[in-house]
């Protein structure tokens, strides 16, 4: 299991981005959260298997890619601290 920490920038706020990510994550049974940042970016923390996280990234790109200008991704070992996926504040 691994953990992804992703920052999306572009026109990613006010376009349903967090809700699209949550829907995709819940479909794939990924755990973690997504939230808007004050600087206009969206932050995503997700844990799951390599295959499922790759599918999540693909789904986000397919549904919201037109709004994304830049992505910064960090990978680490999953912590197991999450039991579901939600929208954080």
41 tagged catalytic: no
CB-based contacts of 59: which residues, under 8 Å, 6+ apart? 24, 27, 28
- Beta carbons of 31 and 48 less than 8 angstroms apart: yes
66 tagged catalytic: no
> Catalytic pick from 3, 11, 18, 41?
18
> Catalytic pick from 11, 22, 36, 89?
36
Name residue 6's beta-bridge partners: 44, 73
The set of catalytic residues is 18, 36
């Amino acid at each position: 299991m691994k953990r992804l920490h992703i920052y999306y920038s572009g026109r990613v706020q006010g376009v349903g981005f967090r809700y699209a990510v949550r829907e995709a994550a819940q479909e794939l049974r990924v755990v973690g959260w997504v939230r808007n940042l004050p600087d206009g970016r969206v932050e995503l923390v997700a844990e799951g298997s390599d295959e499922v996280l790759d599918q999540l990234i693909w789904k986000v790109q397919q549904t919201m890619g037109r709004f994304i200008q830049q992505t910064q991704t960090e990978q680490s070992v999953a912590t197991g601290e999450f039991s579901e996926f939600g929208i954080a504040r």
